[in-house]
Amino acid sequence: MGWRDRLRGVFDPLTAHNFLIDSGAAGLFAIFQALTAPFILVLAVRRGAVPWEIGLITASPFAAMLLSGWYGRLAEGRPQVAIVSWTTGVARLFLLLTAWAHGMATYMLSYVGFNLLSAASNPAYTAVERAIYHERWRGRLMSGVKFVLGFFQFAATLAAGGLMDRHGAGAVFTLAVGFGVASALLFSRVRLPASAPPAQSRAATREAGAAAAPQRDPRFARLLLALMLAGGGNLLVQPGYPIYQVDRLHMNNVHVAWLTAAWSLAWMVCYPLWGRVCDRRRPAQAIAAGLTCYLVPPLVYALGTGLAGTMVAAWMQGVGDSAIDCGWQNHTMRLARGRIGAYAGAYFTFLGLRGTLAPLLGALIISRFGLLPLFACGIGLIAAGLLVARRLPDAPRVGVAGLAEASPVADQA
């Protein structure tokens, strides 16, 4: 019996179909990411970008998240799968301009355009994932998709640096866009079940402002505070890494790709482990462990340990990122109960806020004081957030009865 048959033996045919499509699209997207994401900042540095431009490039994906609420309202009543497919497919075409740009203004504007349009898919993608995966199986299926993403990103990153050295950014980014568009087209084959949960009403969307959930739930407010401090410190130092890699270590494209490969491998290996921590113990423990890992990269760069040290830093960044991604979702789902839309909206809004401000502040610190003070400030903020995270109250665990839902097969019947 093949793995497809085993998958269909566990899940109903529609769930198995959607998981295969979702995983395939994730694999193609991972190759797109591997061929582009590691080089965006270092290419900008090599083309003469100054610190504030590096800060703006770093902040642009997060600034786009601030539009998530507006994008969500815009997507109401429209076909969610089509929104994900079209917005991501067209957005990835913007990187052709980034690849072949001659001036820094075109380089930055095309990358910003890519992020702005990509962000339009986030609310719709969340709605699709909620619709196609039953609550009983959602965690393991979404973890499986992320494992596929990590595996393909790791494998493709190993080849990305050599391709960049031999063929240049234009050719590599053009190849990457082909994979990115193919991913978007494949995702369009996802089929929503007839019993898909209804979209949030317009009135409920208006009431689910970024400040509503933390105001009503002090436990959630404490989580946001921990992540604003430590996550802000982690993002504060991000503009310093490519500058250090290019100006101090004189890394080539292969070295840069190795760093991303180390991150991807850590993500792929550790994500299922953090899932077990969240299921069997407390999601807050995963969050605290992830923030502890965040202390390592700025410390490594501050000590100037060379290429080997940056590999360790990249690995620990991947471990931390997987812990935070798994931990915040599980912690928030337990807190939110039936209001996950409001809680997730608040989380992404605050992520966009710190992701926009912290890299720009980091660029300012580099310009005024240099790299070492930047790394010291980042370590201080991460440590402060870790102190808050270590005191996160327990999120209520869903009872056994709440988990013992009907299987997807029974639902389809």
Percent of the chain with pLDDT over 70: 82
146 and 54 in one domain? yes
184 and 216 in one domain? no
Residue 409: the pLDDT is: 28
Of 160, 190, 220, the residue that ends a domain is 190
Question: Could you give the number of structural domains in the chain?
Answer: 2
- The answer to the question of residue 200 being in a domain is no
284 and 138 in one domain? no
241 and 113 in one domain? no
| Better-predicted residue by pLDDT, 171 or 142 | 171
Residue written as token pair 């193919």: 182
Under DSSP, the state recorded for 39 is: G
Residue 412: the pLDDT is: 27
Residue written as token pair 């003469």: 48
233 and 122 in one domain? no
Residue 237 pLDDT level (bands cut at 50, 70, 90): very high
Distance (Å) of CA 99 to CA 37, 83, 94, 383: 12, 25, 9, 38
Distance (Å) of CA 264 to CA 50, 178, 260, 291: 28, 21, 6, 18
- The answer to the question of residue 405 being in a domain is no
Residue 411: the pLDDT is: 28
- The answer to the question of residue 201 being in a domain is no
The CA distance from 171 to 155, in Å, is 19
179 and 267 in one domain? no
272 and 137 in one domain? no
pLDDT over 60 (residue 398): no
307 and 172 in one domain? no
Residue 374: the pLDDT is: 95
Tell me whether residue 338 is exposed, middle or buried, using C-beta atoms within 10 angstroms of its C-beta: 0 to 12, 13 to 18, 19 or more: exposed
Q: What is the largest CA-CA distance in the chain?
A: 65
- The answer to the question of residue 145 being in a domain is yes
Residue 139: the pLDDT is: 63
76 and 219 in one domain? no
Average pLDDT, the chain: 81
219 and 180 in one domain? no
Under DSSP, the state recorded for 244 is: I
pLDDT over 60 (residue 239): yes
Residue 43: the pLDDT is: 85
**Lowest-confidence segment of 147-151, 338-342, 364-368 by average pLDDT:** 338-342
The CA distance from 15 to 18, in Å, is 5
Of 132, 158, 190, the residue that ends a domain is 190
Is residue 300 within 8 A of residue 312, CB to CB? The reply is yes
| Better-predicted residue by pLDDT, 341 or 27 | 27
Token pair of 167 as six digits:
């063929």
Token pair of 93 as six digits:
């075409």
Is residue 344 within 8 A of residue 332, CB to CB? The reply is yes
pLDDT over 80 (residue 317): yes
Residue written as token pair 């462990």: 289
The per-residue pLDDT for range 300-312, each reduced to its tens digit, is 999 987 888 999 9
Is residue 223 within 8 A of residue 350, CB to CB? The reply is no
Residue 363: the pLDDT is: 86
Length of the chain: 413
Is residue 165 within 8 A of residue 254, CB to CB? The reply is yes
Give the N- to C-terminal CA distance of the chain in Å, as an integer. Answer: 24
CATH number where 100 lies: 1.20.1250.20
Q: Which are the contacts of 172, defined by CB distance < 8 A and separation ≥ 6? A: 35, 36, 39, 99, 160, 163, 164
Under DSSP, the state recorded for 339 is: -
The per-residue pLDDT for range 183-228, each reduced to its tens digit, is 999 999 998 887 655 544 444 444 445 566 676 788 888 999 999 9
- The answer to the question of residue 6 being in a domain is no
Residue 253: the pLDDT is: 76
What would the mean pLDDT of 100-109 be, rounded to a whole number?
A: 82
363 and 214 in one domain? yes
The CA distance from 231 to 353, in Å, is 11
- The answer to the question of residue 404 being in a domain is no
- The answer to the question of residue 253 being in a domain is yes
The CA distance from 259 to 98, in Å, is 22
Of 163, 190, 217, the residue that ends a domain is 190
- The answer to the question of residue 34 being in a domain is yes
pLDDT over 60 (residue 53): yes
Question: For residue 181, what are the domain limits?
Answer: 12-190
333 and 257 in one domain? yes
| Better-predicted residue by pLDDT, 395 or 289 | 289
